[in-house]
């Protein structure tokens, strides 16, 4: 994944291992340790001899009462005995109801009454009876009273006269109210954003097994992302160490309220702990490709394979088990009297946390993707008898639900998942967007997580929304980011529901939280509103969703059809060029012959001709098919596996068409989700960067030689000017990279009349000549508004040079990335420069994206709004290939939150027509590249039913 490829250490992706660098440090550490051990050993011997001498040489009558006959401090032995009691305490989930006040409550915060809300309690309204069907889970009209950091009342109507006189009143105006969203897998704070090398405290890479380190020691309370995440309604996160280590260390549950501005007493990490009493502890473990790649060194240390990883786990658990038994034996003996006790309680800080795991005091969260990883870890849990709270990144869990149920104990682990992020490494290659539904069908709990900054946790609710789209029942989807993670964290009596006695973490949303593009309008943490003046978008609340049962009928594959067909029931046509008739008020039919639309309208003749081959679509929407511009589709199958990848060009120059590899999983999925054309360039360094010329091709083609498979051999000439350019080739600095590009273009202007030698027709200088002749677009991957400014200056110089030489064209510039493009939107519009936003909603992962706009309730616009307002031709791209499933929905987010800037056609243009406009290409035909949705493409509960893929077939699902 681009966010992590560039930036070790990685969480889901494989860290760019610099194991060789660390080998020296490791050896030094081993040497140091053996030296230390020797010193400690000698000291111990001297001490033991001294104690023996004291016991022999001093008559017992002269011993002080503080010292036993064995020379041990009585006081300390008593402390040890008290520690025994603690060691054998089994934590329980802390209570919610029955508290007078939340231990996190800060005196002086006023009580609050939220009136007129539509409340999702998080439980069946009439008890558990009909809970299984989900029918008893409903939205209710209620007022909610918060006091002392707790939800005190949830009632149909609460009389103000019954409440304290200083109560604050918030009118929800009928909008949806849920408990705060919980992210059970985050690296917020330990990997602060924007990424700066020195602020990354995610993984302790000095050793593979580090149960003794704690994420709390690396959490940066000033991490801006803590605030961005909260603006998405996420009030609680489990901050885990990274997954580079088999045992990564302890994790902590925090709430997203920091310092006085958020109603806290002070800026402190401890102040953020969700449970100040720390009833439960948490530990991160990880199996699979990361540890062996990061830590293994041939002949020196493991693990080099999953075999070695299991041994790392087993020998570690064995060691901890031995220590635990020594403690238990000591405690048993000491409980009979301290007189005969010859040693103190054996404790070792280094193994304390792991022993606590074996004692059942620590919730284990383990990152395991594949069947072999899951099964091995289930085996460890049984061999050493500890439960597992959740398997994270459990991509293949849906294939083996029964294996998960074999986990030790009677409480099978939950599966912490992404809705549809996959393919970034071999472990993530096999996965299903329907995993959540399958797991739920088998009685296992799916939980959606962000792995922030892998995904932007701000949009965690969108993961749950997509899970619903992919077949998970509506109430289970909401639970997957509220009550389910709360329960797994052992905080299920306090978090995740809107009930008296729960912590008052509340979100009021501008629409149903599972709709596309829903934003919070206010967020409360422990009863304190987090925004004084939140931005509320001007959009109507359309009512809560009625769960669409049809989403549960999933079709994993689409059926290809080449016979003539008619699709009836089309109520909207979002492809202007396909239909020139009257407006969209009646329903239409769409007739298709050999994959091409032959009629849109009544189509009586076609209906009569096709006989049985009529398919009725409910509330059908016809759109052009989508184009993915700027991904690695067609050049890659598994992002981090070199053998499946075209590779990275660096300073070498190449053409995408020469690396095209078709009929991959990614492309089959692209086609199924309506992305029938792609324009891809070779990578510069990692995914999301570009160098060379891009190729335009059909995602449904089997080989590049199929008729029409490649519709444009060289679409645009690509360079990258993001942070990755520094230090590659001859460009140590950003300024040198900009300068090099300027020189190349000016040289092309100078040599414009020398037509290239036949042998150099496909060389970089030849394509540069096309650029300065206005015959080909120059596409630059860049985020920083500063670098974009420099680039506009380059364009000015080059355009000037062209005119000095008598030319009358200007170069056509396109920007890919554009996280900060909104800051120079007007200049871009003036210069006729188009922008492909990738990602569409940047969250300042890298320094050059740090001025990204997070959107409501923090800002009144996002990049797409500003660009559209300024008249910049804008498209939505995908900085990682898995986003191909979501292109339609991302256009939907832009549409739903555009406050009328975009109409539906304008939103479809973002992922179709605008790509061609900005590149200066003729708009392609849509009659054989189209999608028919059941429902609106911009609504969460629509389904793709028909895709015309441009190869003479349609695919029906
Ligand atoms: C808040 O801080 C003050 C000192 O600034 C302290 O006296 C008080 O106990 C603190 N309250 C809580 C709940 O931490
Ligand atoms: C509740 O909100 C609805 C929708 O905005 C409004 O019509 C109604 O008057 C409100 N009721 C109260 C008691 O504020
Ligand atoms: C394309 O790939 C799919 C899935 O791997 C496979 O079933 C199909 O046979 C392939 N098509 C061709 C023509 O090889
Ligand atoms: C958004 O807010 C900024 C400053 O807060 C203001 O200048 C601008 O006019 C607002 N834009 C819109 C579209 O409301």
Tell me: the pLDDT tens digits for 482-524?
A: 999 999 999 999 999 999 999 999 999 999 999 999 999 999 9
Q: Which residue lies with its CA nearest to atom 8 of ligand 1?
A: 265
The packing angle between helices 306-334 and 371-384, to 10°, is: 20
Element holding 816 (H helix, E strand): strand 813-817
Ligand 3 pocket test: pick from 558, 560, 662, 663 the residue with the most ligand atoms within 8 Å of its Cβ.
663
Cα within 13 Å of Cα(304), Cβ side:
5
Q: Give the pLDDT confidence score for residue 587 in this predicted structure.
A: 86
Whole-angstrom distance, CA of residue 633 vs CA of residue 698:
11
- Nearest atom (ligand 1) to Cα of 104: 13
Q: Where are the alpha helices (DSSP H) in 347-500?
A: 349-358, 371-384, 401-405, 435-441, 460-469, 474-479, 483-488
Instruction: Give the span between the Cα atoms of 189 and 206, in whole angstroms.
Output: 20
Please tell me the predicted confidence (pLDDT) of residue 22. Answer: 37
Judge whether 908 and 884 are in contact, CB under 8 Å: no
**Ranges of the chain with pLDDT below 50:** 1-9, 13-35, 37, 44, 55-62
H-helix or E-strand containing 610? helix 604-610
Q: How far is the CA of 528 from the centre of ligand 1 (A)?
A: 16
| Ligand 2 centroid distance, CA of 175 (Å) | 9
Question: Cα of 482 to ligand 4 centre, how many Å?
Answer: 33
Q: What is the pLDDT of residue 1?
A: 37
860 C-alpha to ligand 4 centroid (Å): 6
What is the model's pTM?
0.93
Measured CA to CA, the distance from residue 832 to residue 824 in angstroms comes to 12
pLDDT, position 18: 35
C-beta of 82 in contact with ligand 2 (< 6 A): no
Q: How far apart are CA 333 and CA 327, in angstroms?
A: 10
Unique residue bearing structure tokens 């090099």? 740
What the chain holds in terms of domains, given with CATH numbers, is 182-304+351-495 (3.20.20.140), 555-625+926-956 (2.30.40), 626-925 (3.20.20.140)
Q: Summarize the chain as % helix, strand, coil (round to 5).
A: 35, 20, 45
Atom of ligand 2 nearest to the CA of 171: 14
pLDDT of residue 759: 81
Q: What is the pLDDT of residue 177?
A: 98
Instruction: Judge if the beta carbon of residue 343 lies within 6 A of ligand 1.
Output: no
Backbone angles phi, psi at 510, to 5 degrees: -80, -5
Mutate to test the pocket of ligand 1, among 149, 265, 266, 270 (most ligand atoms within 8 A of CB): 265
Instruction: State whether the beta carbon of 860 lies less than 6 angstroms from ligand 4.
Output: yes
pLDDT of res. 443: 97
* Sign of the torsion formed by the C-alpha atoms of 113, 116, 121 and 125: positive
pLDDT for the residue 585: 57
Closest ligand to 665 CA? Answer: 3
Convert the pLDDT of each residue in 348-392 to its tens digit: 999 999 999 999 999 999 999 999 999 999 999 999 999 999 999
Q: Which residues' Cβ are closer than 6 Å to ligand 3?
A: 663, 702
- The answer for 429, left when phi > 0, alpha when psi is -120 to 50, beta otherwise, is alpha
Q: Return d(Cα 256, Cα 236) in angstroms, integer.
A: 6
Which of the 8 DSSP states describes residue 426?
G
Q: What pLDDT was estimated at residue 45?
A: 57
Radius of gyration of the chain (CA): 31
Measured CA to CA, the distance from residue 600 to residue 579 in angstroms comes to 6
């Amino acid at each position: 994944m681009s966010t992590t490829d560039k930036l070790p250490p990685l969480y889901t992706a494989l860290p760019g291992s610099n194991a060789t660098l660390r080998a020296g440090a490791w050896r030094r550490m081993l040497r140091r340790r053996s030296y230390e051990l020797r010193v400690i050993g000698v000291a111990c011997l001297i001490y033991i001899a001294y104690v023996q001498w004291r016991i022999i040489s001093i008559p017992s009558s002269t011993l002080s009462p503080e010292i036993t006959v064995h020379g041990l401090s009585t006081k300390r032995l008593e402390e040890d005995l008290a520690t025994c009691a603690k060691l054998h305490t089994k934590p329980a989930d802390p209570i919610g109801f029955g508290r007078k006040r939340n231990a996190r409550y800060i005196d002086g915060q006023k009580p609050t009454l939220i009136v007129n809300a539509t409340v999702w309690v998080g439980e069946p309204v009439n008890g558990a009876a009909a809970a299984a069907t989900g029918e008893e889970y409903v939205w209710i009209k209620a007022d909610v009273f918060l006091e002392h950091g707790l939800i005190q009342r949830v009632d149909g109507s609460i009389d103000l006269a019954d409440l304290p006189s200083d109560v604050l009143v918030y009118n929800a105006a009928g909008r949806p109210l849920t408990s705060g969203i919980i992210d059970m897998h985050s690296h917020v704070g330990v990997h602060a954003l924007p990424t700066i090398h020195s602020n990354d405290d995610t993984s302790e890479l000095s050793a593979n097994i580090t149960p003794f380190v704690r994420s709390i020691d690396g959490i940066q309370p000033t991490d801006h992302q803590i605030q961005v995440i909260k603006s998405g309604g996420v009030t609680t996160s489990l901050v885990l160490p990274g997954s580079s280590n088999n045992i990564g260390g302890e994790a902590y549950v925090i709430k997203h309220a920091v310092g006085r501005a958020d109603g806290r007493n002070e800026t402190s990490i401890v102040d953020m702990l969700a449970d100040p009493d720390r009833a439960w502890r948490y530990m991160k473990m990880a199996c699979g490709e990361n540890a062996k790649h990061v830590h293994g060194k041939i002949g020196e240390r493991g693990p080099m394979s999953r075999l070695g990883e299991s041994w790392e786990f087993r020998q570690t658990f064995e060691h901890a088990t031995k220590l635990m038994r020594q403690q238990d034996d000591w405690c048993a003996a000491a409980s009979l009297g301290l007189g005969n006790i010859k040693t103190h309680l054996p404790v070792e800080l280094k193994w304390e946390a792991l022993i606590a795991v074996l004692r059942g005091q620590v919730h284990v969260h383990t990152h395991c993707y594949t069947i072999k990883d899951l099964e091995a870890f289930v085996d460890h849990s049984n061999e050493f008898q500890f439960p597992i709270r959740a398997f994270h990144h459990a991509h293949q869990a849906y294939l083996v639900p029964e294996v998960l149920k074999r986990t030790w104990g009677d409480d099978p682990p939950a599966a912490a998942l992404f809705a549809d992020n996959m393919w970034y490494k071999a472990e993530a290659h096999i996965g299903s967007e329907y995993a959540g539904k399958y797991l739920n069908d088998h009685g296992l709990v799916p939980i959606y997580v962000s792995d922030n900054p892998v995904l932007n946790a701000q949009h965690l609710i969108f993961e749950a929304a997509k899970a619903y789209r992919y077949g998970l029942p509506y109430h289970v989807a909401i639970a997957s980011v509220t009550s389910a993670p709360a329960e797994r964290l052992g905080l299920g009596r306090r978090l995740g529901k809107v009930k008296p006695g729960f912590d008052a973490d509340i979100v009021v949303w501008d629409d149903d939280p599972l709709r596309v593009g829903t934003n919070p309008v206010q967020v409360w943490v422990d009863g304190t509103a987090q925004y004084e003046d939140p931005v509320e978008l001007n959009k109507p609340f359309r009512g809560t969703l009625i769960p669409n049962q049809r989403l549960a009928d999933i079709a994993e594959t689409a059926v290809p059809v080449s016979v003539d067909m008619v699709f009836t029931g089309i109520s909207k046509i979002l492809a202007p060029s396909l239909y020139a008739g009257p407006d969209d008020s009646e329903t239409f039919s769409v007739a298709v012959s050999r994959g091409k639309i032959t009629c849109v309208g009544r189509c009586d003749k076609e209906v009569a001709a096709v006989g049985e081959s009529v398919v009725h679509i409910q509330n059908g929407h016809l759109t052009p098919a989508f184009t993915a511009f700027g991904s690695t589709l067609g050049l890659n199958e598994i992002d981090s596996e070199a053998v499946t990848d075209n590779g990275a060009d660096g300073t070498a120059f190449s053409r995408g068409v020469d690396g095209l590899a078709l009929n991959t999983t990614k492309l089959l999925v692209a086609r199924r989700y309506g992305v029938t054309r792609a324009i891809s360039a070779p990578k510069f360094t990692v995914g999301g960067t570009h160098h060379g010329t891009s190729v335009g091709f059909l995602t449904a083609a089997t080989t590049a030689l199929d008729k029409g498979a490649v519709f444009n051999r060289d679409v645009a000439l690509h360079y990258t000017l993001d942070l990755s350019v520094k230090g590659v080739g001859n460009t140590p600095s950003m300024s040198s990279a900009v300068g090099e590009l300027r020189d190349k273009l000016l040289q092309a202007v100078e040599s414009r009349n020398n037509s290239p030698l036949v042998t150099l027709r496909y060389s970089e200088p030849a394509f540069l000549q096309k650029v300065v002749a206005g015959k080909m677009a120059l596409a630059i991957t860049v985020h920083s508004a500063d670098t974009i400014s420099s680039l506009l200056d380059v364009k000015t110089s080059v355009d000037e040079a062209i005119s000095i030489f008598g030319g009358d064209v200007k170069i056509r510039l396109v920007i890919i990335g554009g996280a900060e493009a909104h800051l120079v939107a007007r200049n871009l519009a003036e210069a006729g420069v188009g922008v492909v936003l990738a990602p569409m909603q940047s969250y300042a992962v890298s320094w050059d994206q740090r001025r990204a706009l997070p959107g409501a309730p923090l800002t009144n616009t996002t990049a797409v709004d500003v660009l559209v307002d300024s008249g910049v031709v804008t498209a939505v791209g995908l900085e990682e290939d898995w986003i191909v499933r979501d292109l339609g929905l991302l256009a939907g987010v832009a549409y739903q939150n555009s406050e009328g800037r975009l109409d539906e056609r304008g939103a479809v243009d973002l992922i179709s027509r605008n790509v061609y406009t900005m590149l200066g290409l003729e708009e392609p035909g849509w009659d054989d590249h189209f999608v028919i949705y059941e429902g609106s493409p911009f609504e969460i509960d629509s389904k793709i039913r028909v895709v015309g893929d441009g190869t003479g077939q349609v695919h029906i699902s």
